[in-house]
Structure 1
Amino acid sequence: MGPLDIVNHLLNFVAPAAAMALVLVLLGRLVGSRSASAMAGWLRWAILFVVGVAVLLAGLVLWGRDGKMLTYAALVVACATCQWVLVRGWKS
């Protein structure tokens, strides 16, 4: 496998986490608090992205392969919980 193939596989591996983070940041006002978070959008995206990649890596280590639906369900739950904490959803 060449270097371009490795980059392609890595980008495809982290794409669900990046998409989930982007959607949650863009629709952040609908999830949790009505007031905007004090932190910048790119920082919230980075935090959600790191959480998502960690969940995907945990699914890869646990089951030995990526793309399991349970891993994607855990990605949704973890990112939604993280978004709820970042927008202080308990205060709404």
Structure 2
Amino acid sequence: MNPLDAVWHLGNLFLPAWGVAALMALAMKLLWKQSAAGMKWRTLFAWGGLGGSLGIVAALTLLGRDGTMAGYGLMLIGISVTLWGVTFKR
């Protein structure tokens, strides 16, 4: 595997987490205006992406592979808990 392939593999590993984090940040800004009023969209996106990435890494560590439904569930839990902690616990 050359370095470009490694970059593509890592990008494709973390892309679902960052894509869902973008959608969740947008949904939070639209649906929970009071709780997320003081935060920028980019901040919510960054925290959600980091939480989702940790969920993907946890799934890869626990399950030994990526792309499983349990792995995507851990990714969603990571994004949701992180965004909940950032907005509602302030």
Q: Do they superpose with TM above 0.5?
A: yes
Establish whether residue 34 from structure 1 lines up as the match of residue 42 from structure 2: no
- SS at 2:25 equivalent: helix
Q: Amino acid of the residue matched to residue 3 of structure 1? A: P
Establish whether residue 68 from structure 1 lines up as the match of residue 68 from structure 2: yes
Q: 1 or 2 for the larger relative contact order (CA 8 Å, sep ≥6)? A: 1
Cα deviation for residue 85 of structure 1 reads 3.3
Contact in 2 for aligned 1:37/1:87 (Cα 8 Å): no
Greater helix share, structure number? 2
Structure 2 match to 1:87: 87
Counterpart CA distance in 2 for 1:57 and 1:83 is 18
Q: Which is further off, 5-14 or 75-84?
A: 75-84
Cα deviation for residue 15 of structure 1 reads 0.6
Give the share of equivalent positions with the same residue, in percent: 31
1:3-18 to 2 correspondence within 5 Å? 3-18=3-18
- Structure 2: any 5+ residue segments left out of the alignment? none
Structure 2 match to 1:50: 50
TM-score between both structures, scaled by the size of structure 1 = 0.82
- Structure 1: any 5+ residue segments left out of the alignment? none
Alignment size in residue pairs: 87
Counterpart CA distance in 2 for 1:78 and 1:10 is 18
Contact in 1 for aligned 2:58/2:74 (Cα 8 Å): no
TM-score between both structures, scaled by the size of structure 2 = 0.84
What RMSD, in angstroms, separates the aligned Cα atoms of the two structures? Answer: 1.7
